[in-house]
Structure 1
Amino acid sequence: MKIDIAQHPCFNREARTQYARVHLPVAPACNVQCRFCDRKFDCVNESRPGVTSVVLTPGQALEYLRRVRERTPQLRVVGIAGPGDPFANTKETLETLRLVRENHPDLLLCVATNGLAIEPHIPTLIRLEVSHVTITVNAVHPEIGAKVYAWMRNGPRVMSGIQAAEMLWAKQSVAIRRLSDAGILVKINSIVIPGLNENELPLIAEQVKALGAQMMNCIPLYPAAGTDFGTLIPSSPETIARLRAEAGAHLPQMTHCARCRADACGLIGADTAPETARDLLAVAKRPRQPGEDRPHIAAVSREGLLVNQHLGEAEALHVFAPDGGAGRLVEIRPAPERGLADRRWESMSDLLRDCQTLLVSGIGPNPRRILEQRGLRVIEMEGLIDDALRELFAGRDMPATMRRRFEGCGHGCAGQGTGCG
């Protein structure tokens, strides 16, 4: 079946009012910490990259896509754009792409990445007929890149500074060339950071065009609260227009970007339909894997009544079973000992293999990633355990009044790239 690549609404301005796209949020982890980025896995309000209301497994993503197609006949594109980086979650990303290609051969496939770890997987992307790839390039001069990125993880090694920025641009360059040589359309996203990389954009455009990129998207900075660049004032519309004109001398510019979320669905610029948003939440509550039996919910608590502990502080895990529309305590399990780094969270996921959800008052990004990749949904909240169990065991979403996002160690966790525990 021949797929019409001109129907991608991000790469073709004329297609944006005719054809829809859906982003499948299966990639929570990231291998680069940008100083402007704050990823959120349970946010329903903000509209920007790095944000999603839930994280799905590949199997859940396939079921969600089935529901989306029933409601959205104009759907043409399935993308993976986070909320982290697809190739910091390679297993989940490639499995999702494989399932979509096998079950929906008529749809376009695309991924959006920082480019650090994509290159070894380009042959697989070619085999799966991925037609579009977006790579975010914010600098080519390492002195500028060192100010954009706090750290990056290259395999087991965490790097920062000029050496890290040099490595990233080198890997991005190789990826752009290989993707373009393979016939995959490459778009470059560049975040416009006032006073830092504005003058870099024409050079980025010139160099990526020489490597084979076909389009560029200059995106005004979104000042995310709590990040290093959270207090910067975005460039004015006049400045953005000038920069696009200068970069446009080298590479065609995308001017209809809506800064889509990692779970965006529908036409570009339009809100996700309420029915689709409900489908996304409903699918996230299904078993993480087909045939999986996880009847229980666990909570982190000091006294067994309130969710009032950060996961890193937990000495015990309270496990509840459904009981007449509420919950019944079935066991209190000792938490794995501290100081084991990733092994602590892997042991905890084994300890909670019969639990579908874990309720915490706070959690770092690394333990969240490990637990969710092993099939455990994590919800940050505050309040009575019984109130949460009543909603969740009834199949309803957690009320917004009970949800919270732990802020106490988030910035510190992001600062070193080594996680907590």
Structure 2
Amino acid sequence: MTLKLENHPCFNDSARHTFGRIHLPIAPKCNIQCNYCNRKFDCMNENRPGVTSKILSPLQAMHYLEQAIALTPSIAVVGIAGPGDPFANPDETMETLRLVRAKYPEMLLCVATNGLDVLPYINELAELKVSHVTITINAIDPEIGSEIYAWVRYNKKMYRDVEAAELLINKQLEALKKLKEAGVTAKVNSIIIPGINDTHVIEVARKVAGLGADILNCMPYYSTTETVFENIDEPSPEVVSEIQNATAEFLPQMKHCARCRADAVGIIGEINSDEMIQKLAEAASMPKNPGEHRPFIAVSSLEGVLVNQHLGEADRFLIYGQDKNGCSVLLDSRAAPPSGGGQERWKALADLLKDCRALLVNGAGDSPTKVLNANGIEVMVLEGMIEDAVSGVFNGLSLKHLMKSSQIHACGTSCTGTGGGCG
């Protein structure tokens, strides 16, 4: 297998008008919170990392990719860039990369990460011939980094301030070094934040060049509502150009970055077509494994009107389907497996709901969620009217307005962002 590395439009300016890329949005969780990052908004005209209209499972992503390649034959690169960090979602990320490599052996594979948790996966990335990796490194000085990052979550422990920045920076630099030892082409993104790190980016360039980085992307900070940095002005084109010229002493520059969405598809700079937006929505509304026939949705409810019962307290589950007109209808009520029994109880529940693509609950523990997810049943923690939630799932609509805060903050803790990612 010979990969045409020169066809990557982000790493090669001459390729960007000919070859396209697709980002598969399969990684919703993040392991850091940047003070410029807000994942709540989804405007189809907004291009910035972390924004996506849908989240896909690995198998949904493969179905979507097949449709995308048929509609957009210019695609030469399959990338994973969030909407969170790929390696805060390592199972989904690695499964997707394996599936793509197996089906499309000549496709370039690419991931964009903050670098915190990528180290354990670098050897397999190299084995899968993931040819391009981008790490966003905004500082190499922990004091400066502490102004950029609100928190870092590593090995289930939260870090803040200088300690968080120091941990993140050390992991980033170690990952960059190991990527280059593994023969992977590495790009470094540095976001220029006026008054924070704008005079420091040249030091970042000097450091990462010494570790073997191949190209540098000095990205202008994007002002985003409801973030710590929302009142900071974006850097002027003149300032960005000055920094690019200064850092060019150390590394080649990427100057054509379009700050792509986590669901971007096609030629860089072009917005997603209406047809591709529809294909993404269709994929998201399918069972997690589109090859399975899972026509129903299960709901845990106290009275049958609201999604308002914790999974562990449910004694029965309401089963919804669709009539011939596509309207949601209650079809059945199934008794829950008896309490106790640990993992066996959740395996029994997975078997009980094996014809359901999703289970809507008001709360759920990690153990049952993992078992049900592994059996193709998506556990969705919501609050609100059953009719709205079920209809939304069947039709692939956004359910952000129904999600509980513990789901929106995917890191699982209170934070200033959505946990959606800073890759």
Q: 1:52 to 1:7 in 2, by over 3 A?
A: same
**What is the SS of the residue equivalent to 1:131?**
strand
| 1:166–1:221 distance in 2 versus 1, CA, 3 Å | same
1:333-366 CA-partner distances (Å, limit 9, x unpaired): 89999xxxxxxx9999899665323568x999x9
The answer for the alignment partner of 1:328 in structure 2 is 330
Q: Does 1:71 align with 2:68?
A: no
Q: Which residue of 2 aligns with 1:340?
A: none
Partner of 2:30: 30
Cα deviation, residue 31, structure 1: 1.4
User: What is the match of residue 212 of structure 2?
Assistant: 212
Distance 1:377-1:408 versus aligned 2 partners, 3 A rule: closer
Distance change in 2, residues 1:17/1:45 (3 Å): closer
Query: Contact 1:327–1:389 (CA<8 Å) still a contact in 2?
Result: no
The residue that corresponds to 1:341 in the other structure is: none
Counterparts in 2 of 1:42 and 1:58: CA distance versus 1, 3 Å: farther
Equivalent residue number for residue 386 of structure 1: 387
Indicate if the aligned counterparts of 1:134 and 1:187 stay in contact, CA closer than 8 A.
Answer: yes
Q: Is the 8 A contact 2:25 2:81 kept in 1?
A: yes
How much does 1:103 deviate?
A: 0.9
- The higher-RCO structure (CA 8 Å, 6+ apart) is 2
- Residues 273 and 290 of structure 1, relative CA distance in 2, 3 Å threshold: closer
User: 2:190 and 2:338 mapped to 1: Cα distance?
Assistant: 42
CA separation in 1, counterparts of 2:392 and 2:99? Answer: 32
- Partner of residue 318, structure 2: 319
Question: Structure 2 matches for 1:14-413, cutoff 5 A?
Answer: 14-40=14-40, 44=44, 46-289=46-289, 292-299=292-299, 304-305=304-305, 319-325=318-324, 326-328=328-330, 330-331=332-333, 355-357=356-358, 374=374, 375-377=376-378, 385-386=386-387, 389=390, 393=394, 396-398=395-397, 404=401, 413=413
How does the TM-score come out when normalised to structure 1?
0.82
Q: 1:103/1:323 Cα in 2 relative to 1: closer, same or farther (>3 Å)?
A: closer
Structure 2: gaps (5+ residues): 340-345
Q: Whole-Å Cα distance in 1 between the matches of residues 380 and 319 of structure 2?
A: 15
Shift of 1:377: 4.8
Please tell me the residue identity of whatever aligns with 2:323: G
Work out whether residues 60 and 288 of structure 2, in 8 Å CA contact, stay in contact via their aligned partners in 1: yes
Cα displacement (A) at 1:248: 2.0
Question: What residue identity is the alignment partner of 1:132?
Answer: H
Q: Does structure 2 retain, via aligned residues, the 8 Å contact 1:318–1:329? A: no
One-letter code aligned to 1:386 = E
Q: Secondary structure at the match of 1:272?
A: coil
* Counterparts of 1:36 and 1:312, CA distance in 2: 34
Pick closer, same or farther for the CA change 1:397–1:407 going to 2, 3 Å: closer
The residue type equivalent to 2:333 in the other structure is E
Change (3 A) 1:254 1:245: same
- Percent of pairs with identical residues: 45
Q: 1:355 corresponds to which letter in structure 2?
A: C
Per the TM alignment, residue 386 of structure 1 is displaced from its structure 2 partner at its CA by 3.4
Task: Tell me the SS of whatever aligns to 1:38.
Answer: coil
- Distance in 2 (CA, whole Å) between partners of 1:139 and 1:371 is 39
Measured at CA, do residues 175 and 43 of structure 1 come closer, stay the same or move farther in structure 2, by a change above 3 Å? Answer: same
Q: CA deviation at 1:198?
A: 0.8
- Distance, in Å, in 2 between the alignment partners of 1:257 and 1:210 is 23
Partner deviation per Cα, 1:126-148 (whole Å, 9 max, x = no partner):
11111111000011000011121
> Partners of 1:287 and 1:183 in 2: how far apart?
37
Closer, same or farther: CA 147–355 of 1 in aligned 2, 3 Å: farther
Whether the 8 Å CA contact 2:336–2:349 is kept in 1: the answer is no
Aligned letter for 2:62? Answer: L
Which segment is superposed worse, 373-382 or 67-76?
373-382
Q: Is the 8 A contact 1:296 1:319 kept in 2?
A: no
Residue 319 of structure 1 contacts residue 333 of structure 1 at CA under 8 Å; is this kept in 2?
no
1:45–1:404 Cα change, 3 Å: farther
Q: What is the rounded CA distance, in whole Å, between the counterparts of 2:213 and 2:401 in structure 1?
A: 41
For each residue in 1:31-69, what CA deviation from the matched residue of structure 2 results, as whole angstroms up to 9, or x when unmatched?
A: 112122223597655421112122222222122111111
Q: Is residue 152–residue 158 contact of structure 2 (8 Å, CA) maintained in 1?
A: yes
The letter for the 2-side match of 1:113 is T
- Contact (CA 8 Å) 1:320, 1:329: kept in 2 or not? yes
Q: Take 2:275 and 2:207, find their aligned partners in 1: how far apart are those partners? A: 43
What's the CA shift string for 1:198-240, capped at 9, x where partnerless? 1110000011001000111112222332222233221222222
The count of residues paired between Structure 1 and Structure 2 equals 405
Distance 2:301 2:390 in 1: 14
Shift of 1:331: 3.2
Q: Give the residue type in structure 1 aligned to 2:356.
A: C
Tell me by how many angstroms 1:197 deviates. Answer: 0.9
Task: Determine if contact 1:327/1:390 at 8 Å carries over to the other structure.
Answer: no
Alpha-carbon RMSD: 3.8
Asked if 2 retains the 8 angstrom alpha-carbon contact of 1:111 and 1:132, the reply is yes
Deviates more, 1:13-22 or 1:172-181: 172-181
Contact 2:227/2:416 (<8 A) preserved: no
Alpha-carbon distance in 2 for matches of 1:214, 1:221: 22
Residue identity matched to 2:358: T
2:68 and 2:195 map into 1 onto residues whose CA distance is 42
Shift of 1:112: 0.5
Superposed CA offset, 1:92-124 (max 9, x none)? 111111111111011111110111111221111
Q: Give the 3 Å change call, closer, same or farther, for CA 265–380 of structure 1 in structure 2.
A: farther
Paired with 1:407 and 1:231, the residues of 2 have a C-alpha distance of 28
